[in-house]
Structure 1
Amino acid sequence: MEPARTDTGPPEPPRQPGPAPGPDGDGGGAPPAGSGGAAEDRAAPSTGPTGPARSPWPPPAALVWGFGAGLLAVLVAAAVVSFWLAGLILAALLLVLGVLHLVLPLSALGPLAVRTPWVDATTCFVLAVGVAVLAVVAPRGLQG
């Protein structure tokens, strides 16, 4: 079984204030020649290897609430209109979720991302087709 994916690696250990360790590991080594010393360290804050951290767009909470609203629409359609319409709405939601798995980064999907993007998207597409076929082929529910 494939483990669940995450965006982050292991947590970084807390950094201790003070001088960086020298070449001997004694904690007080001088900066290498030509590095600019402490003045260069204060010149610009480090933004990491990938640039400054940005929050994902759309935020994961917006996607979760959006799909929650879509599921509520499925329930209302099933209760008020017909199971046929509810099945088609659910199939459309699954198709949209499959496309989002392919185009959005993992950080934007939040808890909607379970496995690799291709596995999630393929699962959503297969379920969408299955639900749509059942919605169209099955009898029209309680309304005859």
Structure 2
Amino acid sequence: MMTTGDQRLTGEGTATRPPTDQVHAGAIDAFIAAANTGDPARRARLLSLALAPDVSFHGPLGRGVGRGAVEDFITEVVQSYPAGRCRMVRTTVVDAPHEWARFGWRFESADGTAVLRGTDMVHFTAAGDIDEIVVFAGPLQQEG
């Protein structure tokens, strides 16, 4: 059997695994669901499904290592937003060339008004766990 990138091909050229972007979307969506739940036990379970134990998190509000650091960030920033209950929404498809992926997101108020938009880049282990998250909040400024 021949392999090409992340897909295994049979002799007829038929893929036996879904494309990488579809595979990685499940972990990304579990991460977003963890950010949106107010139940700490459910949040920890979702993060254990999506993240490697030693995940590295980089964002405009700080850095951290480990699922606990990501969980603390969610509790302190997402769940405790001063304007009230908000939620994260994935706004784009997952673009995943091999072990890296990027996706757009929106942080919105209860009525659906966007509070902040951004793009995350995530890296995946061979097992499919997110082991690095880089958060870019807000739009890029145009040059010139």
Which TM-score applies when normalising by structure 1? Answer: 0.28
Q: Comparing both structures, which one devotes a greater share of its residues to helix?
A: 1
**Rg (Cα) greater in structure:** 1
Q: Comparing both structures, which one devotes a greater share of its residues to strand?
A: 2
